[in-house]
Amino acid sequence: MTSTRPSYLRLLESGELGRRAREATNLLADCTLCPRQCHADRRQADPHSYCRTGRAALVGSAFPHHGEEDCLRGWNGSGTIFFGQCNLRCVFCQNFDISRQCRGRPVTDEQLADLMLALQDQGCHNINLVTPSHVVPQILQGLAVAAERGLRLPLVYNTGGYDRLETLGWLDGAIDIYMPDFKFWNPATARELAQAADYPDVARAAIKEMHRQVGDLILDRHGLARRGLLVRHLVMPGGLEETRQILRFLAREVSPETFINLMPQYRPAGLAAHYPTIARPLRQTEFEEAVAMARQEGLRRRAGE
């Protein structure tokens, strides 16, 4: 039977969670938390960092989300906390107002813990941390406070996939469910659309490490995710060859049991209208071909099926 006890409670009881939170926070003085390696002093309120986030995490919104995957939203919703800003610059971001335009409101560690506990009180099935890569120290600090005060929900790390291995090491044993995007396979595409030519290499390494930590996705008897890896891939117009390479990588180098959510909802949001290759919606035939590719490459578990 799958345990319903979040993994971070072991770290709390041993004192390791508090130690990691303190040490990770010290890294903000010369920040190398994400692959940008900008070395900014993020102890300041308005640092010259790539993510434009200082000591306080910025929160755009926090609410029970009923639009996530079935295994996350269940019947009471996924307790979603959207962090402001991002370490990627995706020109087509569908949360452009949060990731690029909206700084959100700064929250203390205690206030972040309050948000987690409030979502638990509302009956949410998990705490879903959206765009967390640049605020890992703040998350660990908030988690330490919240767990001490009674947080008992699984933690979901809902990331764009641009995560440094060393930072993921701080999260080993703290995160129950990793949900990374795998956006691009081609470095040239990643450079043009996200200002991150190294994204494919970074994402491959990060997803392997996430799987090493939590394994394949495990569902409880109610169909709710309790632990494991769930990968998202937004199918892009004209990008099916990259989609195939990503699916092949997951099946052959991660696990054929990888849960994959192939997302059909691409639209030219943000600045996408200025980029001719992605200035149109995804065609239904392109999405159907992507689904067929997943089966051809040997991925046996797809969200929604």
Give residue 1's pLDDT.
Answer: 44
Beta partners for residue 156, in sequence order: 128, 177
- How far is it, in rounded angstroms, from Cα 170 to Cα 174? 8
CB-neighbour burial class of residue 197 (10 A; exposed 0-12, middle 13-18, buried 19+): middle
Q: Scanning the structure block, which residue is given the tokens 């067929």? A: 292
Q: Rounded to whole angstroms, how far apart are CA atoms 59 and 112?
A: 9
CB 247 within 8 A of CB 299: yes
What are the pLDDT tens digits along the chain (305 aa)? Answer: 456 799 999 999 999 999 999 999 999 999 999 999 999 999 987 788 999 999 999 999 999 999 999 999 999 999 999 999 999 999 999 887 776 666 689 999 999 999 999 999 999 999 999 999 999 999 999 999 999 999 999 999 999 999 999 999 999 999 999 999 999 999 999 999 999 999 999 999 999 999 999 999 999 999 999 999 999 999 999 999 999 999 999 999 999 999 999 999 999 998 999 999 999 999 999 999 999 999 999 998 876 54
Tokens of 285: 């035939």
Integer angstrom CA distances of residue 231 from 44, 61, 131, 251? 34, 23, 14, 12
CATH of 8-302, one of 1.10.4030.10, 3.10.510.20, 3.40.640.10, 3.20.20.70: 3.20.20.70
Chain-centroid distance, C-alpha 117: 20
d(CA 44, CA 205): 31
The domain limits of the chain are 8-302
194: left (phi over 0), alpha (psi -120 to 50) or beta: alpha
Residue 292: other Cβ atoms inside 10 A: 10
According to DSSP, residue 28 is labeled G
Structure tokens, 127: 């705490």
Please tell me the pTM assigned to this model: 0.96
Token representation of residue 90: 């995706």
CB 158 within 8 A of CB 103: no
Asked if 182 and 161 count as a contact pair (C-beta separation under 8 A), the reply is: yes
